[in-house]
Amino acid sequence: MAPVRRSTRLATKPRSHPYNYGPCPSRPISNGIHFYTTPVKKKRYRKPIVNAIDPEDDESAWAVMPKIIPSLKFSPYKWKDPAHKPTGFSGPSWPPTSAEQLINVDIKLEDLGTHREREAFFAKHGDLVKDDCLGKYCWQNTEWSSEFLCAKDFDGRAVCDHTFSEWNQGCARWETRFEIRAVADMGHGLYSKWNWKKGDVLGAYLGELIPTMPQNTDYVHQVKVGPAFSKSGAQVAYVDARECGNFARFANHSCDNNAIFEEMRVGNERVLALRAVKAIAVGEQVSVDYGDDYFKERRCLCGTPKCKYAKTDIPAPAVALAKKKNGRDTLKVGLVAL
């Protein structure tokens, strides 16, 4: 994962006016409950998106209509096992009561015990590691260059008190810059209605935060939970957007991808951000690379000259399993049937 650039250039004098992040790019709105495809020409309705039924999955007795959520979904009962507790967890007790406690990248020294216990902890795990903050709003327009998203990166004396809920309001009106289209053999895809530059953050990947990998991995991405340290890193969990999520869940795979999912930070909360790795033009499909693990039992037919998985040798039993994966012939296209 390429780290966010960190600048050592700091302001030498206090600023005479507050830091200006610009107005919130999106007015707070109440989104619909479910996702819809972009209307076909001459049709005045939008068809709701429904996941295909998986006949091999006992938990899927009916089709799933994905729900739009503004933040990570969290079910406390799934986190009761103490084995899932992250190193340096800063919470009042275990199990946690919110996703925010788990994706907190900071640590409270008082939770580590006495001075001697703190020294022993950091000797074992190393220094606390944080990425740069993404700033106040998603899609924000600051008075600085695109290198600086948070005032604290510009001036070390500034305060970083940003929250994900405020940051995510910046892309609340996501349909002004993206649309979901039906794609032949792929289900649905995410298309841009905006010209994005390399390095731009398009949004965050949302879903349910769960401690273990589910059987159906079509909408699952890994994310670290708890603070990260230079010697011991951080534990991992998974964001599953199969039943609920946001527009980022519709980014399809391409071996010549124009975006990536990257762990970043807003305030003290870790964010799985969708970031452009090359310029994305209006009308272009937003795509990411699903990685080697995803294609262990799937064959990719993205059709790009850079395709890495088209010639993957998959044993016959694995092929049969992959074809039943999501109630559709997902192996046929090598992509998630969204």
pLDDT in tens, the chain (338 residues): 444 444 444 444 444 456 788 889 987 666 689 999 987 775 677 888 988 765 555 554 567 899 999 999 999 999 999 888 887 776 667 888 999 999 999 888 888 889 999 999 899 989 999 888 999 999 998 777 667 889 888 787 888 999 999 999 999 999 999 999 988 777 899 999 999 999 999 999 999 999 999 988 889 999 999 888 998 878 899 999 999 999 999 999 999 999 999 999 999 999 999 999 999 999 999 999 998 888 887 878 788 888 888 765 555 444 433 333 333 333 333 334 34
CATH architecture, domain 67-294: Beta Complex (2.170)
16-53 burial by CB neighbour count: b if 16+ within 10 A, else e?
eeebebeebbbeeeebeeebebbeeeeeeeeeebebbe
Distance CA(246)–CA(203), nearest Å, equals 9
Q: Say if CB 201 and CB 273 are below 8 A apart.
A: yes
30: part of which helix (H) or strand (E)?
A: none
121-144 burial by CB neighbour count: b if 16+ within 10 A, else e?
bbeebeeeeebbbbbbbbbbebeb
pTM of the model: 0.84
